[in-house]
Amino acid sequence: MKVRKYLVASMLAAGAVGLSPMAWSAVDVRVGVAPPPPRVEVVPAPRSGYVWAPGYYNWNGHRYVWHNGYWVQARHGHHWVAHNWEHRGDHWYYRQGHWDRD
């Protein structure tokens, strides 16, 4: 429940200062249950000026929920790092998709 309250507070604060959703800071999500295997997606034909962000599972506080892939506007000098789950010890940690410099 604390994670949800923190996430909502972060979203409200970001909106109050005029930040876009892509500018929100990451929230550390730790889950004791492994995510299901990724779904097979049919990736649409390439779209000029955009990068495909593959679908991923997100944790809603009770269970994993699938989010379909989507197009992200390309950023010169950067590459898209997909949303992912990292296994450390007895837990799984969520890492939000983001841009990294080339």
Check residue 28 and give its pLDDT: 78
92 forms beta bridges with 31, 87
Check residue 25 and give its pLDDT: 53
How far apart are the C-alpha atoms of 48 and 66, rounded to whole Å? Answer: 26
Closest CA to 70 of 21, 25, 5, 19: 21
Task: Output the tens digit of pLDDT for each of the chain's 102 residues.
Answer: 444 444 444 444 444 434 444 444 556 799 999 999 999 999 999 999 999 999 999 999 999 999 999 999 999 999 999 999 999 999 999 999 999 999
What is the reported pTM?
0.70
Residue 81 near residue 54 (C-beta atoms within 8 A)? no
Q: Residue type for 85, please?
A: W
User: Could you tell me if residue 9 is left (phi over 0), alpha (psi between -120 and 50 degrees) or otherwise beta?
Assistant: alpha
How many Å is the maximal CA-CA distance in the chain? Answer: 42
